[in-house]
Amino acid sequence: MDAVNINIEELEHLLRQAGNLFQDRTAAGQVQTKGIADYVTAVDYAVQQYIQEHLEASYPHIQFLSEEKANQEIDPSGLVWVLDPVDGTTNLIHDYHTSCISLALMGGGEVALGMIYNPYGKELFQAKKGGGSYLNGERITVSGATRMEESLIAIGTSPYLKEMADENFELFKRLFLDCQDIRRSGSAALDLTHVACGRLEGYFEIGLKIWDFAAGMLLVREAGGSVLDYSGAQADTSMVNNIVAGNSEICRLLASKYL
């Protein structure tokens, strides 16, 4: 599928404008609990509404899937926007400044376009299938590290699956002893951008939803990296997936030795 008819500059402007809504601390404090460690704020809804209205006006033929709406009507074989209006909602609630907007365009099970905007750092990541990955217009590539000893690895603690804590933290300890150090940001999408631009050598987490990883998966792959599932196969666009990402060598090591 080709995203050539999508106006990239229009989307960049849209995400930057929507990112201004993150500054509304009153709205960020209006919190609803969806499940264990799973929250939504008035900012999530405001960003989603703002982006959805603009996309539906400009691209009425494209379906819209988002974290904060029912998505039963979506036909995954057709064109569909995939939005996470606030990836890192818990961070937003605490004013931790590690949250972002993630937007992807998918069709037929493939990601054609991925964009992630960090409104705190004013960083806009963009990738088009077959066209490379970019940060604020500059080409980016994954790290060239080949050994765990020189690798900074991001972990996801899967806070919605606290019953996995013992297994997860045993794994984190093994990894910590082998790698340079580990990081935990609380935003899967941002961790994937950091892999794409070489700030991190790898990242992994279980139970990610499609809106968490669709855009970031394309960014990493177009930056020369790999995105696998925990079995070591190429990660697909299933609604829920276990994701491991990194440059090709570190991604392979993570999947084969630790996961």
pLDDT at residue number 58: 95
Q: What is the pLDDT of residues 94-145, one digit of tens each?
A: 999 999 999 999 999 899 999 999 999 999 999 999 999 999 999 999 999 9
pLDDT at residue number 136: 98
Q: Is the pLDDT of residue 201 over 60?
A: yes
Q: Is the pLDDT of residue 182 over 50?
A: yes
Which of 4-8, 91-95, 140-144, 146-150 has the weakest average pLDDT? Answer: 4-8
Q: How confident is the model at residue 1 (pLDDT cuts 50, 70, 90)?
A: very low
Strands, E assignment, the chain: 31-35, 38-41, 63-66, 79-87, 100-107, 110-118, 123-128, 133-135, 138-140, 152-155, 181-183, 202-209, 226-228, 240-246
Q: What is the pLDDT of residues 24-68, one digit of tens each?
A: 999 999 999 887 777 899 999 999 999 999 999 999 999 999 988
Q: Which residues pair with 104 in a beta bridge?
A: 82, 114
Which one has a higher pLDDT value, 2 or 135? Answer: 135
Q: Is the pLDDT of residue 4 over 70?
A: no
Match 């982006």 to its residue by tokens: 51
Q: How confident is the model at residue 71 (pLDDT cuts 50, 70, 90)?
A: confident
Mean pLDDT (the chain) is 94
Cβ 77 vs Cβ 173: under 8 Å: no
Half-sphere exposure of 254 (CA within 13 A, CB side): 31
